[in-house]
A and B are shown apart, each in its own frame.
Chain A
């Protein structure tokens, strides 16, 4: 019997194949994870209710009080930014109602000290993206389309992915996302009848040209 000279035992075959497969799979999984991460709601920061310095509840204000979005976000149809209400705006009501509530203490403090309330930004596009609320609102894009059912959020969270491909999808085919002007701030509006036909009609009415040229958003 020849001396046992073999370097590798039979399990080495399995091990070597498994190792190679593991390396290949590892590389693929790593790439795939990085790739996939940005597609998860977590990667895009969707569905993450953001706590604010004041326990402001949109559900209460939108549903119970039926305050229109534009009461507080007053510049949404005129300016690039929708506008975060000034402390003064809060106190328009809250000097009368809940004016002793400890929950509103930060608001009163802001008003009396003159220091703004440090709200936390929920919807953020990069600095090189020039998003303008006014043109979208005036061309029939409703609040709910991008911001979701704010009327059901205790703390506002990001609903839309806010990725470039998401923007592009609508810019390429805006029709299905258009609504009549009187329904812009409605959280519950649903079209009756043919959505596609309505979209076409609204495209014409608003004179909508979804543009996908780069400088539409990047300048």
Chain B
């Protein structure tokens, strides 16, 4: 029964390559021979045929149960030579890292029997602090993706590794003759010291070779803004835990590259009610998770943020009056609040804003005395590997001019993500040797003459730097599952050192940079996953006020009419995670749409244009046009349309192919984020979204509770109705005699709604992916979900997120209705779900008032590729078709801790659930309610505690803590 992580693996013929063909069925694009079953009602499940037949046969055999029908006995294959360490089935943890957008996040990977099965944060690492985001965690699925690129080929011919090295050596030698005149590199932004070192050495060998750094979602405007404000590029390093008042100018700092986990942690720590509570103002166009937790959210089009910033800056006196704009009521109040907290306030500026706004942000921080307090500045961590605006355009010009003979691309998928109008695909054909290093066969690999499979970060050596500069080491957990190489080896190949191995390069570099006791230190660094004390030092950075003022004055006014805005997608980032089924299925943290992007518009704009949800519309900008389905998003700025990037893939494996629409086709190099002059017209057809949450109003029910500080002072007693004992005919079971009584507390005030817990749970508990059609049918399998509710006017609502998994009711309504005792209570108060006993009546799910139970309607896993079987957590039963499943409070972790402690005769240590561990905001607390000192016990005694649906008398073990907001009374 222990099989596979992904639904829809079709049975393959022997010898056939592992292809995820059947997942195409799920996303609604299948036009194969199976097309006789229309989508929706009449979908044929993917795993037909042999497997189902065997199941039926198995069933009849079980019923007959007679005769010599024993299954064949299993084989046991022991080691030939026992390795020195590790027991079969024992967990081992390795520190490693993953770099996204150039910055490394330290991770700890769990491996069992040599297979990495779980990604967790590295508590010692400054960018993780023990948490892990959705992308870092889901990257593990990419590792096992059977559709990954495999091997090396040049002009369609497969090359063995050794042969590849020879070919590159020959190529390098030919370029070396003219100093690398025709040699160009298109690199991804990457703070890796090792890559920087190799780049320097390659540059030294090929002095005339050109290096370009490019990424589709580059933060180049921030760098430009720093240059404007400080005269040189500097990184700002904010400290939210020290900030009393925060103004975010289109900065969704709780998600996105580099530092979101740390910022979420710091932000959440200041969200407990009282004097120390921070206050967050957010000005943004589309609702983000940061906007959702703001105390005041000002919705405005992206191009209007600059104007708002000028109003605030003017009221602060940060810029001369002629550069400022007259402040409105809101800007005045914000400025006054910021001024009241000089040195304890913070202005953050989002990467989508133009350089002048970034500069203005720096000026405001300077005027408020924040540098050195809530923000400090450092030399840019990316160093030379900073993306340059126009890098791609320059490269295109050179190719056009025939100046590039060899182009080495380690940047991700430029053909797909290049701005509209730049036909890089056609240009690549002009390059004699376009060498593309890629994890998957994608749009670019189709056009490149050389395609080299890249190793996954979890199977290769490397390094990186955290956003604060801390050098982070990336060590592999498995040998590459595919024949592949790394950027390090590829660059080294141009130095004729390709065969030395990334590990040797890494050690050589750090041996040179560290002291004599290198070997010992290196072992220690690997253990810690980083080199301590390597954070970038702060530098003093005076702001050039006149330059800022000049730049601000030069800012154009917001253009009238509809504005097109592009956004980084929470799940797919720039699109590189499109082949990742976990991320595709993960509902968008704000809209709860899974397997899609959509053109978000505000309710008012939709009304004006007469648009309905799901209606297809044509979005037109000068010379470009795209059809996209509309999604009416409360809280969106009026007269603007936001579309997330990264969808509408045409290559890159079957999972992401054809999901959503490709916003890059609409995105120009000149206005990469906001562009005015959008015209929209209704197009033919209706789009069916797969939305994981169908209803966003609480209907006046006390579900996800939210008070302002003022209300909390007056009305906190109202919570008494939602907690404490309820009269019952049944005497509650006494748990006081046991050592443990497990419980959980979820602090809605801390939760930022990022959904990291959902992916953590999916990874830990072998939760299958079901595909778009099944999500649309209401069959998503996530054990923990993050509900999002809107309150107040639909135009500008208050937004609250509520993570919800099984709450482990002491008087569980699901249990007494199960006819076969498949769900019962454990002695320690867990609501147990026994898959192997379940016959699948679904009565428990019906009677669960929280609707947290998930049913295996079909054989979600089908047949998995061999690599995907490696992903399965062996501590958790893989559920068969026809059984119910749900959150177990990670009982496998509880039992592992228990057995390991008690086998040694020790007492049980603390247990962490997967969701708790991943949560960057520390909103989820799990532990022993019998221990009065445990954090969960304290949370259960918190005055903010309440029980969800308390009146039903279910006595949930998961308690909620109400969210308190801290609005500015002046804006009341």
Contact = CB atoms under 8 A, between A and B. Distances in A.
B826 A215 contact: yes
A126 B824 CA distance: 21
B830 interface: yes
A88 B81 contact: yes
Nearest to B824: A214
B67 to A, nearest CB: 9
Contacts of B828: 213
B596 interface: no
A211 interface: yes
Nearest to A213: B826
Interface stretch (B462-470, B653-661, B897-905): B897-905
Contact of B87 (A79, A120, A211, A219): A79
B678 interface: no
A186 interface: no
Interface string A57-100: 00000000000000000110111110111111100000000000
Nearest to B2: A127
Contacts of B196: none
B877 A127 contact: yes
A120 B77 CA distance: 9
B31 interface: no
A114 interface: yes
Given A86-B80, A211-B827, A33 B66 contact: yes
Contact of A88 (B64, B82, B825, B836): B82
A8 interface: no
A134 B836 CA distance: 24
Nearest to B76: A119
Contacts of A79: 87-90
Contacts of B703: none
Nearest to A78: B87
B877 A218 contact: yes
A19 to B, nearest CB: 24
B729 interface: no
B408 to A, nearest CB: 39
Contacts of B82: 74, 85-86, 88-89
A116 B826 contact: no
B301 to A, nearest CB: 51
B826 A118 contact: no
Nearest to B79: A86
A128 B73 contact: no
B895 interface: yes
Contacts of B894: 215
A191 to B, nearest CB: 22
Interface in B59-79: 64-66, 70, 73-79
B876 interface: yes
A122 B75 CA distance: 9
B835 interface: yes
A54 to B, nearest CB: 12
Contact of A115 (B80, B824, B837, B888): B80
A218 B79 contact: no
Most chain A beta-carbon contacts within 10 A, residue among B78, B832, B888:
B78
A37 B61 CA distance: 13
A72 B923 CA distance: 47
A116 to B, nearest CB: 4
B891 interface: yes
A80 B895 CA distance: 12
Interface string B15-41: 000000000000000000000000000
Interface string A156-199: 00000000000000000000000000000000000000000000
Nearest to A116: B77
A37 B65 contact: yes
Contact of A213 (B1, B73, B827): B827
B88 A81 contact: yes
The SS class assigned to the A binding surface is loop
A169 B902 CA distance: 21
A213 B80 contact: no
A96 B75 CA distance: 28
A134 B900 CA distance: 8
Contacts of A37: 65-66
Nearest to A124: B74
Nearest to A74: B82
Contacts of B496: none
Interface residues of B, number: 45
Contacts of B878: 127
A45 B80 contact: no
Given A132-B899, A214-B826, A218-B835, A207 B905 contact: yes
Given A120-B76, A121-B74, A214 B832 contact: yes
Contact of A87 (B81, B892, B895): B81
A47 to B, nearest CB: 13
Given A118-B75, A213-B827, A128 B895 contact: no
Interface in B98-157: none
B181 interface: no
A119 B1 CA distance: 21
A135 interface: yes
B875 interface: yes
A128 B899 contact: no
Contacts of B827: 211, 213
A215 B896 CA distance: 11
Nearest to B879: A128
Given A116-B77, A119-B76, A215 B836 contact: no
A55 interface: no
Given A115-B80, A118-B75, A128-B835, A219 B895 contact: yes
Nearest to B902: A135
A75 B892 CA distance: 20
B80 A110 contact: yes
Contact of B876 (A84, A86, A115, A219): A219
B892 A219 contact: yes
A138 interface: yes
Contacts of B836: 126, 128, 218
A117 interface: yes
A213 B823 CA distance: 11
Contacts of A124: 73-74
Interface string B813-851: 000000000001111101010111100000000000000
Interface in B859-891: 875-878, 888, 891
Contacts of B837: 214, 218
B87 A116 contact: no
Interface in A202-219: 207, 211, 213-216, 218-219
A50 interface: yes
B834 A218 contact: yes
Contact of B76 (A84, A87, A88): A84
A34 interface: yes
Most chain B beta-carbon contacts within 10 A, residue among A89, A121, A213:
A213
A177 to B, nearest CB: 17
Interface string A27-49: 00000011001100000010000
A77 B835 CA distance: 29
Nearest to B876: A219
A118 to B, nearest CB: 5
A18 interface: no
22 contacts: A33-B66, A37-B65, A75-B88, A80-B89, A86-B81, A86-B82, A89-B82, A114-B80, A116-B78, A121-B75, A127-B878, A132-B903, A138-B905, A207-B905, A213-B828, A214-B824, A214-B832, A214-B834, A215-B826, A215-B834, A218-B836, A219-B895
Please give me the 7 A-B residue pairs with the lowest Cβ-Cβ distance, nearest first.
Answer: A213-B826, A79-B87, A84-B78, A86-B79, A116-B77, A121-B74, A86-B82
Interface of A: 33-34, 37-38, 45, 50, 74-75, 77-81, 83-89, 110-111, 114-122, 124, 126-128, 130, 132, 134-135, 138-139, 207, 211, 213-216, 218-219
Interface of B: 1-2, 64-66, 70, 73-82, 87-90, 824-828, 830, 832, 834-837, 875-878, 888, 891-892, 894-895, 899, 902-905
Given A78-B87, A218-B836, 5 more contacts: A45-B70, A79-B90, A80-B90, A87-B81, A219-B877
